[in-house]
Amino acid sequence: MYNVQSHQIAQQINTRAFRKVFKGNLIFADSDELFYKLSDTKFVYIFQFGIVCYFNIAEKQMKEIEAQLVPFAKGTVSEHLSETIDVSVDASTLKVFFDKVTIPEIDEEMLRLIMLHTSQSVALDRYEEITEELLVSASKHTQSLEQKGKLKISSRKLKKFIGRTLNIKNGIYENLYIFDAPEVAWEDEQLTKLDNDLKQTFDLKNRYRNIQDRISIIKENLELFKDIWNHKESSTLEWIIIILIVIEVIDLFVTKVF
C-alpha cells in the first residue's frame, strides 16, 4: 500500500526558478507544474499555485523538499490544507474508491493523474474557504442595508474588495482545469476512466461550480454596492453645485445692494 499526500504550503511557487536548482528526474514540466521521479516508487508533483504532492515519500524527506521550496514560495497560508489518498497495486485492476485507488501497476501517468486531482481537491478547499469569507463579508453589508438603509463601507475598501474578488476569480481560471482532461488521457482508455473516476470521487466539478456560484453572488453584491456609491457621489456632487450656485447668487445680491 502506497500513500499520496498533497499539501498547500504557500499561495504561489516559482516553479521555473525551482526547476533550475532541484535535483531529480523531471518527467513532465510546463509553466505551472513540475513532476519529478525520485526513484522507481517515489514521485513529487509541484504546482505553481502553492501545492506540493508526494507519492510514497517519508515525512522527513517531505520536510527536506519543502525546506528547499521556501525561497521560491510566495504568500503564507494560515493553515496548511492537505488531502491524502491510498494507492494499492493489483494486476489487471483499476478501481477508484472513496479513500483509495487501485491501479494495475506503478505507472507514471496514472500516478500523475492521481496526484493532480488530489492537488486540485486541496486547491478547491482553499478557494472554498476564501469565497466563504468574502460571502460573509458581503452579507454583513447587505444586512446593514436591510436594517439601517445605509452602506457602511468606504470607497477605498469597496475597490479593494472588488480587486480581491477579481484576483480570486482569475486565480481559479488560471490554476484549476477541472473540466479538461490532461493530454495523456485523451488517447488512453484506462487513463480516461481513471481521470473521470477521480473527478467524480473528489466531486471536483460540483465543488468548482459551487465556488463559481459564490463568486457570482459576491459579484452581484459588489455591483449593487458600486451603484449605491456612484449614486451617493453623484448626489454629493449635485449638492456641492447647488451650494456653489446659492453662494454665487448671494454674493451677486450683496454686491448689487451694497
**Nearest-5° Cα angle at 48, 42 to 53:** 25
Q: What pLDDT band is residue 253 in, cutting at 50, 70 and 90?
A: low
Q: Could you tell me the pLDDT band of residue 176, with boundaries at 50, 70 and 90?
A: confident
Chain mean pLDDT for the chain? 84
Q: How many residues does the chain have?
A: 258
CA–CA gap between residue 3 and residue 7 (Å, rounded): 13
Residue 160: predicted pLDDT: 80
**pTM of the predicted structure, to 2 decimals:** 0.81
pLDDT tier for residue 187 given thresholds of 50, 70 and 90: confident
**H or E stretch including 75?**
none
Rg (CA), the chain: 26
**Residue type for 79, please?**
E
Instruction: Give the model's confidence band at 244: pLDDT under 50 very low, under 70 low, under 90 confident, else very high.
Output: low
Does 21 have pLDDT greater than 60? yes
| Chain segment 133-148, per-residue pLDDT in tens | 888 888 877 777 777 7
By percentage, how much of the chain surpasses pLDDT 90? 42
Question: What's residue 109's pLDDT?
Answer: 92
**Among 235, 228, 236, 231, residue whose Cα is nearest residue 153:** 228
Residue 130 has pLDDT above 80, yes or no: yes
Cell of 3: 500513500
The dihedral through the CA atoms of 109, 115, 121, 125 has a sign that is negative
pLDDT at 225 over 80: no
pLDDT value of residue 246: 67
- For residues 181 and 192, the answer to whether their CB atoms sit within 8 Å is yes
Provide the pLDDT for residue 249.
Answer: 66
Res 51 pLDDT > 70: yes
Residue 231 has pLDDT above 80, yes or no: no
Residue 234 has a pLDDT of 55
Strands 95-96 and 82-89, sheet pairing: unpaired
At residue 141, the pLDDT reads 76
Three-class DSSP category at 74: strand
Average pLDDT for 110-128: 92
What pLDDT digit, counting tens, does each position of 87-116 carry? 999 988 899 998 899 999 999 999 999 999
Segments making up each domain of the chain, as ranges: 2-257
The amino acid at 16? R
Sign of CA pseudo-dihedral 179, 8, 113, 13:
positive
Does residue 180 carry a pLDDT above 70?
no
Q: What is the pLDDT of residue 105?
A: 92
Q: Is the pLDDT of residue 56 over 80?
A: yes
